[in-house]
Chain A
Amino acid sequence: MTNPILTTHQLSKTFSTAGVQKHVLRNLDMEIRAGDYTVVMGASGSGKSTLLYALSGMDRPTLGDVTFAGQHLASMSESALARFRRNHCGFVFQQVYLLDTMSIMDNVLAAGLLVSNDRKALAARAAELFDQVKVADDTRTKFPAQVSGGEAQRAGVVRALINSPTVLFADEPTGSLDQTSGTAVLDVLTDVHTSGQTVVMVTHDLKSARRGERVLYLRDGAIVGDLDLGPFTSDDDTDRNDTLRGFLVEMGW
């Protein structure tokens, strides 16, 4: 068992809309272990994405705290949180969110230059990552509107990895992709995890979920299930698939 790098303590998040309060996360205690590939699942509105963004310091909890390597995110200033995100977190969004006024390469370097001024080294690492995710040379100089959804998402993964983050967060990374593109993105995430990257992924897709080593299930803002799947080998691993399906059935998915 590896050490936890992210820990939540009584984490709660409440939204108020028109005077009505909705408790999305309720007193949640959990850990994300270094090197794990953790998948968070649950029904729509169960708090999956809210948990992801609270863990990554993109949103502040209403109550409770998130601890990263001994640092309390709740007590950090906005600037400190921004520095935390640039140094330790990488994000892959469902909608990709590449900046449409920049080329694919510049989208990646804009994130990289926040951490390092060594343009040459950054460009080399970006090229290496682009090769790894199979984004062709001529695609890298194009603008987001000129590339396919799959290419854009893989570029999003490169942007997330450019600063060698401690944790790679992915929020429904295949949600807006076709099957082929989705599988390619999942392969990339699996590859980087295999090389030691900690990954936390939110999904409601069974095919995506079985890439993880650990599956957490959220219901009404609380973790009601925690499944250890072990390392992913292939999509054809029927035992693994059955175990996951059984877990989810048990959770009422």
Chain B
Amino acid sequence: MLATWRLVLANLRKGPWQTAGLAGFVTLAALMANLGLMFTMVYPHALDDQARAAGTPWLSVFEPDGSYSDAQVSWLLDQPGVDAVEHADVLVPDKTTVRFHDGPEDKVQAFVADADAASGREAVRLHDGGKPLTDDGVWLPYLYEVVYGWQVGDEFTFDFGSSVVRLQVCGFTDEIPFGSYGNVWHRFYVASSTYGQLADELPRWAHLKVYTDTPERADTLMYEVLDQFDGVNVFSYTPTKEDRLFMARVLATVILAFSIVVVAVSLLVVRFRVVASIEESMSNIGTLKALGYTSGQIAGSLLGQFGLVTLVGSAAGVAGSYAVLPLVAGRLEAQSAVVWTPGFAPLPALAAVAVVAGTALAVTGVVVVRIRRLGALTSLRTGLTVHSFKHNRFPLDRTAGPLTWLLAAKSAVAAKAQTVTIGLVVAGVTVMGTVTAATYENIGADPANLVDVIGVELPDVHADGDPEAIAELQVDLASRDGVRALFAYTDGIPLPDSSWPVVSTDDFSVTEGHMLCQGRWPQHANEVAVNWQLARTNGRGIGDTWGFIIDGTVQEYLVTGLIQTVESTQTVALTTDGVRRLLPDHQHDMLYVYLDDPADADAVAADIRRGWADRGVHASTDAKTMTARMAPFGPVVSTVTAVVLAVSVTIIVLVVSLVMSMAVRRSRRRFGVQKAVGFTNRQLVAQTTATYLPTVAVGAAVGSTVGCYAFPPFMDALFRTMDIYTTAMRTSAGTTAVLVVALVALGLAAALAATARIRRITPYSLVTE
């Protein structure tokens, strides 16, 4: 054992830079692995912890005060797994308009709670910097600080109906807003005096906080409540959690996928290093065997050497990930309002170390087995040969081309293993680089794109109100300069005997969103497009019929296409004539307006408000609002893109440097001979670089091509969790080309730097070696 350990130390001393390079790889692999695991395994629990600390009930039932009864509470308490039910009075405006700080307005579902009456489990928990509530003060969800941009001390206004409420921001609460995309309920805490004043204008509702033993129990109970209680809004924690964690899940998936690539790369490098180590130590192995060392002892020394390096490297990687985690968590907090201070988590750390170091050790074990097959004399005399003697590739007397390239081709073929290693590494890194760059381009560079590509119809200006007024407004705006397109629309027509929200317009071909995911829009009164999940659940597809029951009669429609809507599995689309088969008097109550210059949206909306408010028409700037909502996505994606690209660059530099420096070291004699017969330094540098550059170029080209093809299905798979069947995310040829050129240039620079030592090799060293 002692003898083996001494060999381990001797091996480590032999090539400190190679050891450090290898450790660097393993460090990167473990860093990425632990980052991905932390966001997958720990981050969701941070949200749970935040919810628990805030006393968030796993199920919230909102019902108009008139329908609330003690019997309902008793029924809830009788349900399995329900620990407690608490009741609070809240004020629920029909629709609330809030504003981004110095930005556009946003329509949200807000509800007002009396902070002085807050009691029970759901105590108010203020975020850092909060102040006591004054009579004219308000505590807002933390979301309003990080996403909407409000600060303590600002004057915050919200509108409902024709009333405007002005309050001073006193702080932000750490609570998790209820609901998910498109239907998130924001709670504003006000003082008793303000609450009393608002109660005169706003309807009073009951908020039943149902505490179940597990969130999953609440998910089940939610459907039973919907069956039992009429006219209620019910929120369970799980969809809220999914909504809050969506971006983190995207990031974790990207990081985990990338970490798999990095781990695979590090395994290739480990294998390459172990093989090289055996080849370089061949005569030493022969000597050791001649001295009486067993194959097991010698193999053990290599296992010990590489085991130690990978163990230390992966531990360092896990430690290093804790330096990156706060950066990414901070960016995520600005998007999700989820407060997470990453602490040491032993399980992901152990998993990262086990996967990285364990697989590296396994690869080492597989490779060192060959030592058993080496006899002492074989090792001493010949050793292993790294090239094939079977074929003389590119014979110089019969192959045309510059000498440098021919010799480079010979070297590349002779060292197939390292050529393939470099190619695979560069390809793998380029795949992830392409995917990450495309993610940045589709989401990070302009987060508003996210909306465009995932099935939301987003006009520059959205007007809604009385159908007759909307019809007149449509005529009025059609002749206005700067209006590019407009159409009347309906979103969510209530149909009797149907729980499917219906969207409708005269001609869907003028819509600009990415709602249609298969087939075509309905064009005639007897055609329908159905949500892809709804169709799947009902065993229907394009070409099948779809029935609506009206007054006990089934009206059948032909399914022409499948549509997708964020976090909705129920929507169906009908033409105006199609709706009128069911509701003959139906008229659209919305107008979607698209402008030549979206920057004019505020002015157009203001004009509509000025001229049509007395007709009950309200106007909003949807695209601008959504852009503001999506803005926090940009920094998150940018940060992850920066991390992934930085790691990609480091990997390529490390791999090329490691392989090139090893190649130069192992080829000292060859270079000495070549110099002796008249090769110049420049020729040798060019020859060595040319040996690997085509491999780097091919690897980058293959990787980018795979990345381009893999990106859309990768994003589609991610967005399926948000009920989006397919996104319109695509890779850009320009960006991909720039990435490939940059990676090849980087590889070339690293190669040139690594080959600088060729200049220090002299032909005379042949004699002195």
Chain A contacts to B: CB under 8 angstroms: 49, 53, 58-59, 78-79, 82-83, 85-87, 89, 91, 93, 95, 97-103, 105-106, 109-111, 113-115, 119, 122-123, 126, 141-143, 145-146, 159, 163, 171
A145 and B385 contact, CB distance less than 8 A: yes
Query: From A101, which residue of chain B is reached at the shortest CB distance?
Result: B414
A sample of 14 inter-chain contacts (CB < 8 A) reads: A58-B763, A78-B680, A86-B677, A91-B676, A93-B676, A100-B385, A101-B410, A103-B392, A109-B396, A110-B396, A110-B407, A119-B397, A123-B397, A141-B395
A102 CB contacts on chain B under 8 angstroms: 392, 396, 410
| B389 interface hit (Cβ, 8 Å) | yes
Q: Is B16 in the interface zone, CB < 8 Å from A?
A: no
List A contacts of B674 (CB < 8 A).
Answer: 99, 110
Q: How far is the CB of B60 from chain A (nearest CB, A)?
A: 73
Give the Cβ gap from B624 to chain A, nearest Cβ, in Å.
64
Chain A residues within an 8 Å CB radius of B292: none
B382 at the interface (CB under 8 A from A): yes
The reply to whether A97 and B396 form a contact with Cβ atoms under 8 Å apart is no
Give residues of chain B (749-769) contacting chain A, Cβ–Cβ below 8 Å.
759, 762-764, 766-767
Residues on the A chain within 8 Å of B766, using CB = 93, 95, 97
User: What chain B residues lie within 8 Å of A159 (beta carbons)?
Assistant: 677
Contacts of B673 in A (CB 8 A): 97-99
By beta carbon, the residue of chain A nearest B398 is A119
Q: In the complex, what residues of A have CB within 8 A of residue B389's CB?
A: 142-143, 145-146
Q: In the bound complex, what is the Cα–Cα distance between A53 and B675 (angstroms)?
A: 12
Instruction: Specify the chain B residue showing the minimal Cβ separation from A105.
Output: B397
Given A58-B763, A143-B392: A122 and B681 within 8 A (CB)?
Answer: no
Number of interface residues of B (CB under 8 A): 35
Q: Which residues of A contact B385 (CB under 8 A)?
A: 100, 145
**In the complex, A95→B385 CA distance in Å?**
19
Min distance, Cβ B666 to any Cβ of chain A, angstroms: 11
Contact B396 A106 (CB under 8 A): yes
Confirm or deny: B564 has a beta carbon within 8 angstroms of a beta carbon on chain A.
no
Residues on B with C-beta less than 8 A from A126 are 397
Q: B666-702 CB contact bits vs A (8 Å, 1 = yes)?
A: 0001101111111111110000000000000000000
B606 within 8 A of A: no
Closest 3 CB pairs of A and B: A86-B678, A59-B764, A109-B396
Residue ID in chain B nearest A52 by CB atoms:
B767
Nearest CB in chain A: distance from B743 CB, A? 28
* Distance of A127 from chain B, by nearest CB (Å): 9
> Is A82 a contact of B678 with CB atoms below 8 Å?
yes
Checking A58, A101, A123 against B387 with a beta-carbon cut-off of 8 angstroms, the contacting residue is: A101
Task: Kindly identify which residue among B396, B407, B767 contacts A119, using a CB–CB cutoff of 8 Å.
Answer: B396
Q: What are the residues of chain A within 8 A of B407 when measuring CB–CB?
A: 110
| Shortest Cβ distance from residue A217 to the other chain B in the assembled complex, whole angstroms | 20
Cα separation A123 to B395 with both chains bound (whole Å): 11
Judging by beta carbons under 8 Å apart, are B767 and A171 in contact? yes
A87 to B679, CA, bound (A): 11
**Contact B762–A111 (Cβ < 8 Å):** no
**CB-nearest residue of chain B relative to A58?**
B763
B550 interface hit (Cβ, 8 Å)? no
Closest to A120 in B: B397
B403 CB-CB contact with A under 8 Å: yes
- Alpha-carbon distance between A109 and B411 when the two chains are bound, in angstroms: 16
Residue numbers in B under 8 Å from A53 (CB-CB) = 763-764, 767
Contact A82 B680 (CB under 8 A): yes
Contacts of B762 in A (CB 8 A): 58-59
Inter-subunit contact B392/A79 (CB<8 Å)? no
List 9 extra interface pairs beyond A99-B673, A109-B397, A110-B407, CB under 8 A. Answer: A78-B759, A79-B681, A106-B410, A110-B403, A111-B678, A142-B389, A145-B385, A163-B678, A171-B767
Which one, B387, B395, B677, contacts A106 given CB within 8 A? B395
In the complex the two chains form, is B678's CB within 8 Å of A79's CB? no
A83 surroundings in chain B (CB, below 8 A): 678, 680
**Which residues of B (371-412) have their CB < 8 Å from a CB of A?**
382, 385, 387, 389, 392, 395-398, 400, 403, 407, 410-411
Provide the residues of chain A in CB contact with B759, threshold 8 Å.
Answer: 78
Residues of A within 8 A of B395 (CB): 103, 105-106, 141
How far does the Cβ of B390 sit from chain A's closest Cβ, in whole Å? 10
Distance, CA A101 to CA B674, complexed state (A): 13
Shortest C-beta distance, A199 to chain B (Å), equals 17
CB proximity of A179 to chain B, nearest CB, Å: 22
- For residue A80, give the distance in angstroms from its CB to the closest CB of chain B: 9
Q: A197 to B286, alpha carbons, bound, how many Å?
A: 43
Chain A residues with Cβ under 8 A from B680's Cβ? 78-79, 82-83
For residue B683, which residues in chain A have a CB less than 8 angstroms away from its CB? 82
CB contacts (< 8 Å) of A101 on chain B: these are 387, 410-411, 414, 670
**B670 cross-chain contacts in A, Cβ below 8 A:** 99, 101
Restricting to B704-761, which residues have a CB under 8 Å from any CB of A?
Answer: 759
Chain B residues whose CB sits within 8 angstroms of the CB of A106 once the complex forms: 392, 395-397, 410
Interface-centre pick from A83, A97, A159 (highest chain B CB count, 10 A): A97
Write the chain A residue with the least CB distance to B682: A79
Chain A proximity of B389: nearest CB distance (Å): 5
Chain B proximity of A105: nearest CB distance (Å): 6
Nearest B-chain residue to A112, judged by Cβ: B396
Chain A residue numbers with a CB within 8 Å of B387 are: 100-101
Measured CB to CB, the nearest residue on chain B to A169 is: B676
Q: Which residues of A contact B677 (CB under 8 A)?
A: 85-86, 91, 110-111, 114, 159
Cα(A159)–Cα(B767), bound, Å: 18
Pick the contact of B679 from A49, A109, A114 — CB < 8 Å? A114
Given known A-B contacts A82-B679, A83-B678, A102-B392, A122 and B411 have beta carbons under 8 A apart: no
> Across the interface, which residues of B come within 8 angstroms of A123, CB to CB?
397
Task: List the B residue with the shortest CB-CB distance to A119.
Answer: B397
CA distance A95 to B768 in the complex (A): 12
CA distance A31 to B528 in the complex (A): 102
State whether A113 and B403 are in contact (beta carbons under 8 Å apart), knowing that A78-B680, A102-B410, A122-B397 are contacts in the complex: yes
Q: Nearest-CB distance from B279 to chain A (Å)?
A: 13
Bound Cα distance A137, B396 (Å)? 16
Shortest Cβ distance from B396 into A: residue: A109
**What separation, in Å, do the CA atoms of A79 and B678 have in the docked complex?**
9
Which residues of chain B have C-beta atoms less than 8 A from A79's C-beta? Answer: 680-682
Is A105 a contact of B396 with CB atoms below 8 Å? yes
Which residues of chain B are near A99, meaning CB under 8 Å?
670, 673-674
- For A114, what are the chain B residues with a Cβ–Cβ distance below 8 Å? 403, 677-679
Bound: A141/B403 CA distance, A: 18
Residue of A nearest to B394 (CB): A106
Query: Which residue of B has the minimal Cβ distance to A124?
Result: B397
The smallest C-beta distance from B377 to any residue of chain A, in angstroms, reads 16
How many angstroms between the C-alpha atoms of A78 and B677 in the bound complex? 13
B193 nearest CB across to chain A (Å): 89
Interchain CA distance A122-B678 in the complex, whole Å: 16
User: In the assembled complex, which residues on chain B have CB atoms less than 8 Å from the CB atom of A59?
Assistant: 762-764
Which partner residue on chain B sits nearest A102 by CB separation? Answer: B410
A105: chain B residues within 8 A (beta carbon): 395-397
Pick the residue among A85, A103, A141, A142 that contacts B678 (CB under 8 A): A85
Residue with the greatest number of chain A CB neighbours at <10 A, chosen from B382, B407, B411, B763: B763
Q: How far is the CA of A59 from the CA of B679 in the complex (A)?
A: 15
How far apart sit A53 and B765, CA to CA, in the bound complex (Å)?
11
Q: Which residues of B contact A163 (CB under 8 A)?
A: 678
CA distance A111 to B411 in the complex (A): 16
> Which residue on chain A has the smallest CB distance to residue B397?
A123
Q: How far is the CA of A118 from the CA of B485 in the complex (A)?
A: 71
| Assembly CA distance A111 to B679 (angstroms) | 8
Give the shortest distance, in Å, between A171 (CB) and chain B (any CB): 7
Say whether B382 contacts A145, CB under 8 Å: yes
Q: How far is the CA of A103 from the CA of B398 in the complex (A)?
A: 13
When chains A and B are docked, how far (Å) is the Cα of A99 from the Cα of B407?
11
Give bound CA distance, A78 to B684, whole Å.
13
Chain A residues, Cβ within 8 Å of B397: 105-106, 109, 119, 122-123, 126
Q: In the complex, A78 Cα to B758 Cα: how many Å? A: 12
B residues 642-682 in Cβ contact with A at 8 Å: 669-670, 672-682
